[in-house]
Structure 1
């Protein structure tokens, strides 16, 4: 089993807030994928996870009906993943601004764990 931690800042947890804002069925699907990540880690492979090029970030890839979701995370230490940011994908390409948010949160997290 792997540990999954939700990134938090000022008592706000962006991924949890994002999941809570979705429909109950979408919430269940997203949480199921997070469970799979905690069970299988990086061996989960495509189509569930994918490493983002030129970053040390990964994306958890979730499809529910016609909706596509992404949860950005990174592998912190052996056996621990930090979920940073989540989006409902509306374009073919993942928006750069969302990747930048995840990178910024990752850097803040790493600074706090020094």
Structure 2
């Protein structure tokens, strides 16, 4: 069994894009997304990969995948340390590929977070 995964939602400048995104979703979509995040935390990354709940987008950014009917939700995240991960933001997916701007946004938030952590 995998080590337990811990997710935290990134908060920068008193703004939490993940919570804002989740709260903007229809009830079923919100419940499914939170359920997927919870299952990943409980069952670990190996199971999550097999179940296609997560996907590596590039060397530093990953996505949590959730779908209700034709509504596809994604939350991007990065590894903080060990089995701790930080979800930067979420979006509703409209096309096959994850938009580059969303990946870039996650990287920008990660960089901002890393600078803040190292210089406090």
TM-score normalised per structure 2: 0.88
Q: 1:101 aligns with which of 93, 99, 105?
A: 105
Alignment gaps of 5+ in structure 1: none
Structure 2 residue 51 is matched with structure 1 residue 49: no
Query: Would you say 1:86 and 2:58 are equivalent positions?
Result: no
Gaps of 5+ in 2: none
Distance in 1 between the 2:43 and 2:106 partners? 22
Contact 2:5 2:45 in 1 (8 A): no
From the superposition, tell whether residues 107 and 40 of structure 1 become closer, same or farther in structure 2 (CA, over 3 Å): farther
Corresponding residue of 1:13? 16
> Secondary structure at the residue paired with 2:101?
helix
Q: CA RMSD in A?
A: 1.2
Hey, which bits of structure 1, 4+ residues long, moved more than 6 A? none
TM-score norm. by structure 1 comes to: 0.92
- Against the structure 1 CA distance between its residues 45 and 96, is the aligned structure 2 distance closer, same or farther, given a 3 Å change threshold? same
What's the counterpart of residue 116 of structure 2?
112
Q: May I ask how many residue pairs the two structures share in their alignment? A: 113
Deviations 1:27-76 (A, max 9, x none): 100100110121133222141111013x3111111111111111100111
Aligned to 1:38: 41
Q: Which residue of 1 aligns with 2:30?
A: 27
Q: Deviations over 1:69-95 (max 9, x none)?
A: 111001111121100011100011111
CA contact (8 A) 2:9 2:86 kept: yes
Q: What SS class does the counterpart of residue 44 from structure 2 fall into?
A: helix
- Paired with 1:112 and 1:40, the residues of 2 have a C-alpha distance of 31
